Every structure is written in structure tokens, then in C-alpha cells.
A and B are shown apart, each in its own frame.
Chain A
């Protein structure tokens, strides 16, 4: 590959790649410039550069009660959910690597087998209602706490750690939990970071649990709020929410389009912020998955 032996191929390849990059990037760029343009100018069309640069769309949108509140809910579910997932999976993985664990093989199989079956939407829905997770913040956190796939990844990693460290701590009288907290968890950071980033992205992006089981206004996630704004009809139908046109006229200068674009941007930005970390870890995570498979 050191010398160019086919310039046409080379040029064509670059063109294809550039085209695809534009197709992937431009939509996000468009929403960004729309959200920082003055709504009245933007409605006439913005394509390449923002017109009448302003941040007032953001300041006005963030003043809407349900937006700032659901931003908090989404943040909370992402942070708490990720912490709970990482802690639970790491602890489970550590415990199943211990030969001394009673019923070790059975317990490990009991966990792994859950990857291969899924009861389906309706039985899941009824079960959640039955155990009281309807309109409950725990719905966002508990069901995703223990994931078989993450446990397999972590277990593979923990098994490769040198046993000597643990043995010397054991001799010093440390119990299993202390060893987990002080030795195993810190040493497993590379894989834990991978899992944390993936778990955070999936928490931030999930909304079906919210849609199916949470009607409480105080527990709506940002994704759901955006979906509601996108379907104006739905908003008009429910009296609890604010009518898009009312919002526009109350705050002046906001159009339904700029409201939608600005909220879309608010929902996308956190993903963009963790994206550099994602990038660093995703190939690693994917490869580990491939080895397992």
C-alpha cells in the first residue's frame, strides 16, 4: 500500500468517504446552527452559517419547567444507573471468580443463561407493574443493574489479574469485600471504564421504559419530552403539557421549529461530550465481545 498504483481509485475513494462524512455530520450541524439562529431569520432557511447569532433559544427553553426538570431526571438516571450497573456487575463478576463460592457453577450459569432468552414485552410490562415499579424512579435503575454480558466481560478481565496481590491482602486479614473495593475494582478500571461509558449512553438514550410505565410528570426523561414536543398533536391532546404555539407566543420570538431544534441539541450534546471517551473504549469493548462470542 505504499505507492499509489491507481489514482482514480484513490480519488474516488476519498470522494465517497467525504460524501459519507457529510451525510453523517451535516444533520447535526444543521440542528446546531438552527438552534443558535434567531428563530425569525431561521424560518426563512439556514443552511451553512447561523443567522443573527443568539443564545436566547437556549436560555428561554431552559426556563421551561418541564425541560430543566426532565434534564435533571435524565442526568440522575444516567449517573445513578451507571454507578449501580458498574458496581453490581463488578461485584458479581468478582464473586463468581472465587472458587470458594458455594454453588459457583450453578450461579454462573443462572446469570449467563439470561442472555439467551427474553420473556417478551408484555410479561415484562406486567411484572414491572406487579413489583411496583410503575411510576417509580427505580424502574430506570434496577432492571439494568445486573447484565450478563457485562459480567462475562468483567469476569474474563478479573481472572487475568495476578492472584498474588489478593493473597497477601488475605493474609493481612482483609475480607472479600475489602479486597474487591481496594484491589480488584481499581485494577479493573480499563474494563470498568468501557462498561461505564456504554451503560451511560444507553441510560441517556432510553425512553421506552418511561413511555410504557411512567406517566408521572415529575419522572419524565428528556428523550420523552422531546418526543412529545415533536408530536405536537399529542401535546395538544394532553392538557398537562404546554401547547407549542402558546410557548411560542408567551416567550415571543420562539417558533415551534426552533423549540424542537434547541431541545434536540440539548438531548444530543451530552452524547457528544462523552463521545471522546466512547471512542477510546468502544473498539476495545467490541473486541472483547467478539472474543466472547
Chain B
């Protein structure tokens, strides 16, 4: 079926390679070339000079990160872990929400709830920031209402309250992603054999028993996979959310590892130091990923990647 000539090149076959080549080059440019940038961490990189003319620095920047700037790193890690930990602590919420949603008998109402609650997931953090400013700033809706009702005499300072930052940011994350995260559990519930429920009903099981003995065991495997993946992502809490909500008053509590990399590498233009932090983060993340994958294989006989 191919126009093969007995000698020379099969142009038709080669055309496949030629067609995909431009895309392989794009991948090389955007995914592989940045890897070479890891070498910046071992030089005193000066943007104007280029790598070839920058003096070799060895492990100077790693030393700087762990020892000289150690207290800063600790503070940033504390914030990152606190936010990750709160996120993981609340990770059963989508499961609960999916189970409750599944128990609704009106199909159209279920559809409505699902439609509305997934909406926040699809707007950018800048939109969320705009909404939060409109609601929680000193002259925002929430303060206006509370003042009118005389429940408070002074406006609350949600956006500049350092102590409440972790909880507030976690709550915003839940608001944005709860509906969306529950979809995967709804799909898992839909995959449970309906006969199990019928059999349980014949045996006299009520609603709670069905939930605890059929629905929950049916979605635990999915939950477990997502949980260990989130453990391997513990250092990556994201950048956009904490960037838009960053202000000097909450800086101490909101600066995460990703923000720290941005601040060092781009805002203050210390490329080598910023890259060193990136590398340390990548190494920890990859180690975590393979560890949880190994544990998952040992414990459940199933790899997750």
C-alpha cells in the first residue's frame, strides 16, 4: 500500500518525520532548553554577560540558600507547608460534597448545583481577587452589611490580617475548586454497580448504611490516588493565588516557595540564586513523587504514574 521504491528513500514515509519535526523543535525549545538553565545555579550569572563569561560559583548559592538565608527559607517553607497541610486536611470535602450531591433526588436540581459550583474553577485568580476586594475590603459588601446590622463597629480587615491569612487563603481555594474536584468523585459513584444498592436495600440497609458500606468504599481508591499525588505536590501550592493576594501586611504569612523564587529570580533579578531554589524544589518534588509511587505500589499493588 505504500509507494515503495526498491532503492533510495521512501519519501512518503519520511514525510511523517518531516511533518512532526517542527513540533519536536518547539518542544525542545520550551521544555528541554530551560533545563540547561539549571547550570545558572552554579555560576555568578549576569544577564548581560551570558553564561560563558560568568564566573563559576560552585555550590555557593546552595550554601547561601540553606545557611546564610536559612531563616528566610524556613519562613517560606513554613508558609508553604501550612497552606499545603490545610489543603490536604480539607481534601475529604469534595468527597462529602459528591456523596451529598448524589443523594439529591431531583435530577435537575443536582445538575443546577453542579453547574453553579464548578463556575468558580474557570475564572482566573485575578477575577477572584476582584470579587474578594469587592466583598472583604474595609468598605466591601460584607463590612457594609455587618455595620448596618450593628454586629460590628469597626470594619474587619480580612485582606491585611496576617494571622488569618492561611485560613482565608485556604477558604478561597476551597470556594474555587470544591465543585470541580467533586466531579471526579461523582463519576466514581456513577461507576458503582447499581445492583449493590438494590441488594443492600433487600437486606434492609437504610440510606446511611448504603453510603458507608457501598458509596464510600467505591470512591476511596480514587480519593487515595489523589491524596498521594497531593502529598507529592506539597511544595507546589501555586503562584497566582498568593501573588494576587500578596501585600506587605500579610507578606510574612503568604510568601510561598513559588513566590520566593519569583521574588529572588525576577523581581530582584538574582538569576543564579532563584535557579538554585528552583532546583532544590524540583529535586524534593521528584523524590516525593517516586517515594509515594513506590509506597503505593507496595501497599496497593498499583503504581500511580
| Chain A residues packing against B (C-beta within 8 Å) | 1, 4-6, 9-10, 13-14, 16-17, 20-21, 23-25, 27-28, 30-31, 34, 45, 47, 88, 91-92, 95-96, 98, 100-103, 107, 110-111, 114, 116-127, 131, 142-143, 145-146, 167, 170-171, 175-177, 201, 205-208, 212, 223, 226-227, 230, 257, 260-261, 264, 267-268, 271-272, 275, 278-279, 282-283, 286-287, 290, 293
Contact = CB atoms under 8 A, between A and B. Distances in A.
Given A21-B117, A207-B126, A121 B262 contact: yes
Contact of B266 (A14, A122, A260, A271): A122
Given A91-B19, A126-B37, A275 B119 contact: yes
Judged by DSSP, the binding face of A is: helix
Given A17-B101, A175-B12, A227-B244, A95 B239 contact: no
A229 to B, nearest CB: 9
18 contacts: A14-B104, A14-B109, A27-B135, A95-B19, A114-B27, A117-B286, A122-B40, A126-B37, A131-B29, A142-B26, A145-B23, A171-B1, A176-B15, A176-B16, A201-B122, A205-B123, A226-B127, A264-B134
A100 B2 CA distance: 10
Question: Top 9 nearest A-B pairs by Cβ distance?
Answer: A123-B37, A120-B278, A119-B34, A122-B265, A205-B124, A123-B34, A114-B31, A122-B274, A264-B130
B68 to A, nearest CB: 19
Interface of B: 1-2, 12-17, 19-20, 23-24, 26-27, 29-38, 40, 47, 97, 100-101, 103-105, 109, 112-113, 115-120, 122-124, 126-127, 129-131, 133-135, 141, 144-145, 175, 178-179, 183-184, 187, 197, 206-208, 210, 222, 225, 239-240, 243-244, 258, 261-262, 265-266, 271, 274-275, 278-279, 281-282, 286, 289, 304-305
B275 A120 contact: yes
Contacts of A14: 104, 109
B227 to A, nearest CB: 14
A45 B141 CA distance: 8
B23 A142 contact: no
A268 B225 contact: no
Nearest to A264: B130
A6 B266 contact: no
Given A114-B27, A282-B118, 19 more contacts: A1-B105, A5-B207, A24-B175, A25-B119, A27-B134, A30-B134, A31-B131, A96-B20, A100-B13, A107-B20, A114-B32, A121-B265, A123-B38, A123-B40, A167-B1, A227-B244, A230-B133, A260-B133, A286-B184
B20 A20 contact: no
Nearest to A88: B23
A125 B266 contact: yes
Given A9-B207, A110-B27, A176-B12, A208 B116 contact: no
A125 B40 CA distance: 12
B274 A121 contact: yes
B282 A98 contact: no
Contacts of B178: 20
A264 B304 CA distance: 39
Contacts of A230: 126, 129-130, 133
Given A5-B206, A114-B27, A121-B258, A13 B126 contact: no
B168 to A, nearest CB: 15
